[in-house]
Structure 1
Amino acid sequence: MAKNSLLRMDNMGIVVESLDDAISFFSEIGLKLEGRAMIEGEWAGQVTGLGNQRVEIAMMVTPDGHSRLELSKFLDPPTVSDHRNAPVNALGYLRVMFTVEDIDELVSRLIKRGAQLVGEVVQYQDSYKLCYIRGTEGLLVGLAEQLKKN
């Protein structure tokens, strides 16, 4: 009997109200827009369990090309709940984390664009500086700057 082997994680999906705002926010962090498309029809609903649906998506990719965020704006059916303001100890998916070069500079830029620091930028030993921010639409994002290079 063959054993299934994980090959890679393709992407993480985030549902948003404004694709343009989300694209702008994640572009500021350093992701690039890879493509934008309309996903619709019964075939898509067979995957999601939502039936006939219309969803506009934008695929954002990290500079190394290995990680992607799929941003989705549901046109039909409409969104039914909102988890964006849940505290960091709520059940379910928490946040997406990015490793960045200069956390202080990036946090400063993001705050100028309306993001809010959740706690503080903290240093973990001599390894990392870390923080959580709430970006566009209250999305929770983690940032980490590696201090010691291996």
Structure 2
Amino acid sequence: MGTRFENVGIAVRDLEATIAFFTDLGLSVLGRDTVSGEWADTAVGLDGNHTNIAMLQTPDGGGRIELFEYIQPEAIETEPTRPNEIGMHRVAFSVDNLDEALAIAARHGCYPLRGVATYGDVYQLTYVRGPSGIIVMLAEELKKG
């Protein structure tokens, strides 16, 4: 059986703000759509499923995020996840310049949970609380070869 990674799906409260955050970090929008109908109800397991979606891709083409904003049924607000909770944890990106990435995040009102750490002599990294409470790890490789 062949298996390949396709994308990570994230429900958001404000699709436009979330797209702006991720595109400012360097991702590009591959496409946008509004989906609904019996096929969507069946696939997602929600009656009356109606969402606006956007598919974003990393600059290297290796990763995709599908963002969706619910029109129907009404989105359910939850507390933002914490790093030690079971379930979807975070999305992670390697960046060329961590300081620049943090400045971009700050322009969107998104800041590190605690600060920037250094993992050995390999990475500088941090977890940022992104739009809709998404935890985003940003990491810059220290020894670029």
Give TM-score, length-normalised by structure 2. 0.93
Query: Shift of the alpha carbon at 1:53?
Result: 1.4
Q: Does 1:30 pair with 2:26?
A: yes
RMSD value over aligned CA atoms? Answer: 1.3
Give the letter for the 2:91 counterpart: V
Q: Higher mean Cα deviation, 105-114 or 67-76?
A: 105-114
Q: 1:111 matched to which residue of 2?
A: 106
Bigger Rg over Cα: 1
Give the letter for the 2:54 counterpart: A
SS in 1 for 2:81: coil
| Structure 1 unaligned regions, length at least 5 | none
| Structure 2 unaligned regions, length at least 5 | none
SS in 2 for 1:74: strand
Q: Would the aligned equivalents of 1:111 and 1:117 in 2 still touch at CA under 8 Å?
A: no
Q: Please, which of 57, 71, 84 is the counterpart of residue 61 of structure 1?
A: 57
Query: Shift of the alpha carbon at 1:29?
Result: 1.0
Q: 2:36 matched to which residue of 1?
A: 40
Among the aligned pairs, what percent are the same residue?
38
Q: 1:80 matched to which residue of 2?
A: 76
What whole-Å deviation, never above 9, does each CA across 1:44-82 have from its counterpart, x for those lacking one?
A: 111111123111101111111121100001111112352
Q: Higher mean Cα deviation, 112-121 or 66-75?
A: 112-121
SS in 2 for 1:47: helix
Q: Distance in 2 between matches of 1:109 and 1:51?
A: 38
What whole-Å deviation, never above 9, does each CA across 1:87-107 have from its counterpart, x for those lacking one?
A: 111111011000000011211
Q: Would the aligned equivalents of 1:16 and 1:137 in 2 still touch at CA under 8 Å?
A: yes
Count of aligned positions: 145
